[in-house]
Structure 1
Amino acid sequence: MTLVESRNINNKADFKEALINPNAPQGGLYSPLNLPYFDGEKYSELSYNDFALKLIESFEFGYEELFKKALQSYEKFDHHSAIELKKIDDKIYINELWHGPTRAFKDMALQPFGVLLNEFSKDKKILIMCATSGDTGPATLKSFENLENIRVACMYPNGGTSSLQELQMRALDKDNLKVLAIEGNFDDTQRILKNLLSKEEFRKNLKIQDYELCAANSVNFGRILFQIIYHYYASLKLWNEFKEKVEIIVPSGNFGNALGAYYAKKMGAKIAKIKIASNANNILSEFFNEGVYDLRDKILKKTISPAMDILISSNIERLLFDKFGDLRTNELMNLLKNQNYFTLNQKELQSLQEDFEADFCEDNECMRFIKESKTLIDPHTATCFKMLDISKPSIITSTAEWTKFTPSMIKAIFERDCIDEKEDFRLLAKKFNLEIKEEISKLFDLNLKDKRVCKSEEVENEILEWMKK
C-alpha cells in the first residue's frame, strides 16, 4: 500500500518515505486512500505482539521482519501484553496504555517508531523535530536517546506541561537531544514545528550538514499505525466477552489517539461509537456536535489536563479526508488557515455523528471523577467519565500514569494544594499501596541547570547552532 496526501491524492509516498519525510507537498498529511479490512477474530487468541504484526501486515507495506523487530520494543514495558485492560465495573474497562518507559500512551507508538526510523536511517542522518503538550516529548526523547545518526529537537510550551513531564524531558541530557522551552502555548509551539517542516531554507541549512528533517508528532502516519492496534485489540477482548459492540472513550486534544480508534473501526473492529472527551478547550466537542471548527475569538485555557490544552487538532484533517475526500479537505483546511474557521454541511455532520459523540469536562468535574474513581486515574483519563454509559460495554482510554500530575491528584483527592510535590507523590503511592518506577521517583532529586525560554523567532537559529556542535 502507498499513502496519499490528504489534500491531493496524486501526491503519494510508500511507508518508508512517509515515515522519514511526513511533510506532504501541499501541506497535508499522508494517509491511507482505503483502509484494509482486518478479520481480528481470526487472531483473537494471539499475543499482543503477534496480533499487532498480523494487523500491520494487512496494510501490505512490506518490511515484515523490521516491523517484527520494532514490536519487540514492547518487551521493555512492565506488562506482559504492553497494555493492561483493567475491569472496573460489570461492562466497564480501562485500557491502560502507559506501561512503557515514560509512563504515557505515546510510548505505544514511539518505541516501535524509533526502531523503524533508526533502521531506515542507517545510511543517512536525520533531525527529528517534535512539539509536545506533555507526553510526546519524553517518549520521543527516550526512544531516540544515544543514537548515532539521529538527533532530536523537542519543543514544549513553557509552563504548559506538568512539572514532572518537564523534568522527564530536561533530565534526558544526551548529546543527540535538544529540549527547547517555548514562549507561548502548545498551538504556538505546534505552529513553529509546522513552519520549520515546510521551510525550504531550514531544510537546505540542515542539508549542508548532511541531515534530513523528520517529525515525530502524530502528523507522521508511522505514529498512527501503532495506535490503531491497541484499540482493535481491546475492543476484540470485550467483543469476545459480551458479543456486543463496544464504546471507546478517548481523551483527545490533537485527535491522533481517537483517529486510531476510528481507523480500527473501519478495519473491522467491533466498535459502536467513539466518544471524544475534551477538557475546557472544547474545540472538538463543538466540532462534532455542531459541525463548526471555529478558532475565532478562542483563547487557549490552561487546565489540569495539559496534554489536551490544544485548539488546533492536526489529525482532524485525516478524518476529513477519509470522510469527504481530498478536494473537500483541501477546501476546508484552506478556510481554516485563511479565515480561522470552517463549517460542515448537514450531511457531512451526520456522517461524523455516525461514528462519534463528543463532550467536554471542566476541571471541577474532572477532580470529582478522580476522587470518586475506584482506581487512581490521571486528569486526562478522568475526562472520559463524563461520557460513560455503564449499561454498555465501554473502554475508557487511559493515556498517562497519575504520577505525572501529583498536584492535581492531591487537589482532587485531599482537597488541598500540593505544597511539596515530592512528598505528596510519595504520600499518594503509600496511601494506595502502589509501587512507583524508580526512573520516575528519582526525577524529583535532580539538580537541573536553569532553562532558557525561546521566542518563536529564535527557535530556528537555536537549532541550527546546536546542530553545528
Structure 2
Amino acid sequence: MLLVESRNANNQVDFKEAILHPNAKEGGLYTPLELPQFDGLKYADLNYKDFALELIKSFDFGSEELFEKALQSYENFDDKFCPIFLRKIDDKLFINELYHGPTRAFKDMALQPFGVLLREFSKDKKILIICATSGDTGPATLKSFENSKNIKVVCMYPQGGTSAIQALQMRALDRGNLKVFAIKGNFDDAQNTLKNLLIKAEFKEKLNQLGYELSAANSVNFGRILFQIIYHYYAAVKIGKGEEIDIIIPSGNFGNALGAYYAKKMGANIARIKIASNANNILTELFTKGEYDLRNKSLKKTISPAMDILVSSNIERLFFDKFGDKRTKELMLLLKNEKYFSLQKCELKALKEDFDADFCDDDLCMSFIKQNKILIDPHTATCFKFQDKNRTSIIASTAEWTKFTPSMVKALYDRECKDEKEDLLKISKQYNFEVKKELLALFDLENQVSRTYEMSEIENKILEWIKQ
C-alpha cells in the first residue's frame, strides 16, 4: 500500500519514505487513500503483539519481519505479554490504560515500535529527528532513540507548559545524541517551528551538508498513527466481543482520536468516538458548530497540559478521509491564512456520524479525580463527563497520575503542593500504589538550571549542536 498526501492525492510514497520524510510536498500529511478492512473478531484470541501484527499486515506495507521486530519493543513494558491494561470500573465502563511503558504515557505505545522501524530504515543514513511536545511526546521520543548511533533527536517543549515531571524526564535525557530545548512560548509555537523547519529548504540543505536527513516523530508521521489504531481495535474486540462500544478520548493534537476513527473504519465494533477537551475547547467547537476559529483566541494553561493545544494537526487526515484532498487543502490554507474556517452543513453532518465532543474545565476535572475510586490523571478525568450508564464505553487513559502530582494534590486534598516528591509518596501510600524508582530519581535534577530559548534561536542552535 502507498500513502498519499492529504492536500494532493497524486503525491504518493511508500511506507518507508513516509516514515523517513514525513514532510509532504504541499505541506500536507501522508495518509492512506483507503483503509483496509480487518476482521478483528477473527483474531480475538490472539495476544496483543500477534493481533497487532495481523492488523498491520492488512495494510500490505511488506516488511513483516521488521514489524514483528518492532512489536518486540513492548517487552520493555510492565507486562511483556501485553502493553495495555483494561481496567473494569463497572459493568458499562472500562479504562484502557495505555501508560505502562518506559515514560508512563501513551506515547510509548507508538514511539517504542516506531523507534525500531526508523533505526532499521536509516541504517545507511544519518537522521535528525525534531519533535515538539506538550508533555508526553518529548520523553517518549527521547527514550525511544536513546543511544541510537545514526539518529540524533531534538526536542522542543514550552517552558512551564508541561508538568514538572515531564520536563524533568526530558532534562534527564538531555545528553549524547539527544538535545532538549525549553522554549519561550506555547505548544502551538513549538509545533509551528517544527512544521516550518520540516519544509524549509535552506535548513534541510545545511543539514545535508553536515550529512543528516530530516525527519519527525510527532503524530504528523504516519508511523505513529499506525500503532495507535491497534490498541483501540484490540480493546473494542476484548470488551465488546462483537457488540458496539463507545471510545472516549482526551484529545489535543487528535492523533489518538484519529487512531480510533481509523480502527472503526477498518471494521472495529466502535459506535461513537467521543472527544474530550479541556478549557481549550477548540475541538468541541469544530464537532458541534463546524467552526475552527483561532481569531482573538489565546491558549489557556490548564491542569491537563498535554491537551493545551489550539491547532490539532491530525484533523487534516480526518478531513482528507471525509472530504477529499482539494477541500482539505482549502480548509487548511484558510486556517493558516485567515485563522478561521466554517464547514458546510453536509460536512458537519459527516463529522457527527462518528464523533461527539465536549469539554471539561479544571474544577470539574478535579471533581472527577476526587470522586473516583482509582487514581486517574487530569487528562483521563476530562473523559468522565461523557459517561453514559446505558452504553458500554472505554476511556483511553493516556498518562499515569504520577506525572501530575500538584494537580492531584489540589483535587484530592484541596490544597497546594509544597513538596512534590513528598506528596507523590503520600498519595501512593494512601492508594497502595507503587511508584517507579526511575520516576523518583528525577527529583535529583530539580535544582539544575535549565535555559529557555527564543523560537528564533532554535534553527541555529540545532545546527551548532549537530556540528559539535
Same fold (TM over 0.5): yes
Match of 2:30 in 1: 30
Task: Read off the aligned partner of 1:464 and give its amino acid letter.
Answer: L
Alpha-carbon shift at residue 382 of structure 1 (Å): 0.2
In the TM superposition, 1:125-204 aligns within 5 A as 125-204=126-205
Tell me how far apart the structure 2 counterparts of residues 379 and 416 of structure 1 sit (CA, whole Å).
16
Residue 54 of structure 1 aligns with an amino acid whose one-letter code is: E
Q: Deviations over 1:407-440 (max 9, x none)?
A: 0000000111101001001001100001111111
The CA deviation string for residues 354-388 of structure 1, in whole angstroms up to 9 with x for no partner, is 00000000000000000001110000000000111
Q: Which amino acid aligns with 1:285?
A: T
Partner of 1:74: 74
| One-letter amino acid of the counterpart of residue 15, structure 1 | F
Amino acid in the other structure paired with 2:57: E
Corresponding residue SS for 1:88 = strand
For 1:405, the equivalent position in structure 2 comes to 404
1:128 positional shift? 0.3
Q: Tell me if 1:119 matches 2:120.
A: yes
| SS of corresponding position for 1:253 | coil
Quick one: distance in 1 between partners of 2:120 and 2:10?
28
Counterpart residue identity of residue 302, structure 1: K
Would you identify which runs of 4 or more consecutive aligned residues in structure 1 move more than 3 Å? none
- 1:244 touches 1:393 (CA, 8 Å); kept in 2? no
Cα distance between partner residues in 2 of 1:41 and 1:196: 43
Q: Is 1:344 aligned with 2:327?
A: no
Superposition map of 1:182-261 within 5 A: 182-240=183-241, 243-261=242-260
Residues 171 and 448 in structure 1, CA contact (< 8 A), matched pair in contact too: no
Cα distance in 2 between the residues matched to 1:449 and 1:122: 35
1:389 is aligned to 2:383: no
User: Does the CA-based 8 Å contact 2:249-2:396 persist in structure 1?
Assistant: yes
Letter in 1 for 2:20: I
What displacement does 1:452 show?
1.3
1:46-57 equivalent positions in 2, closer than 5 A: 46-57=46-57
Does structure 1 conserve the Cα–Cα contact (< 8 Å) formed by 2:4 and 2:10?
Answer: yes
Partners of 1:107 and 1:13 in 2: how far apart?
26
1:409 aligned counterpart, secondary structure: helix
Which residue is equivalent to 2:59?
59
Shift of 1:447: 5.4
**In 2, Cα distance between the equivalents of 1:450 and 1:364?**
32
One-letter amino acid matched to 2:28: G
The 2-side partners of 1:393 and 1:102 are apart by 29
Contact 1:170/1:448 (8 A) holds in 2: no
- RMSD of equivalent CA atoms: 0.7
Aligned to 1:418: 417
Identity of aligned residues (%): 70
* Contact residue 168 and residue 446 of structure 2 kept, 8 A: no
Alpha-carbon distance, 1:33 to partner: 0.2
Q: Distance in 1 between matches of 2:420 and 2:55?
A: 42
User: For structure 2, which runs of at least 5 residues remain unmatched after alignment?
Assistant: none
Residue identity in the other structure for 2:182: A
Write the distance in 2 (CA, Å) between the matches of 1:391 and 1:375.
Answer: 22
In structure 2, distance between residues paired with 1:311 and 1:261: 21
User: 2:366, 2:411 within 8 Å by CA — same for their partners in 1?
Assistant: yes
Q: 1:138: Cα distance to partner?
A: 0.0
SS at the partner of 2:324?
A: helix
Measure how far apart 1:448 and its partner are: 5.6
The Cα of 1:91 is off from its aligned counterpart by 1.4
User: Partner amino acid for 2:243?
Assistant: E
Structure 1, unaligned runs of 5 or more? none
CA distance in 2, matches of 1:146, 1:81: 25
1:451 partner letter: S
Aligned equivalents of 1:405, 1:390: Cα separation in 2: 28
Tell me whether 73-82 or 301-310 shows the greater mean CA deviation: 73-82
1:16 aligned partner: 16
TM-score under structure 2 normalisation?
0.99
For the residues of structure 2 that align with 1:375 and 1:302, how far apart are their CA atoms? 25
Aligned length: 467
Please list the CA deviations of residues 217-239 of structure 1 after superposition, one character each: whole Å capped at 9, or x if unmatched: 00000000000000000001122
Sort the Cα spacing of 1:448 and 1:117 in 2 relative to 1 into closer, same or farther, 3 A: farther
**Whole-Å separation in 2 of the counterparts to 1:428 and 1:449:** 26
AA aligned opposite 2:351: L
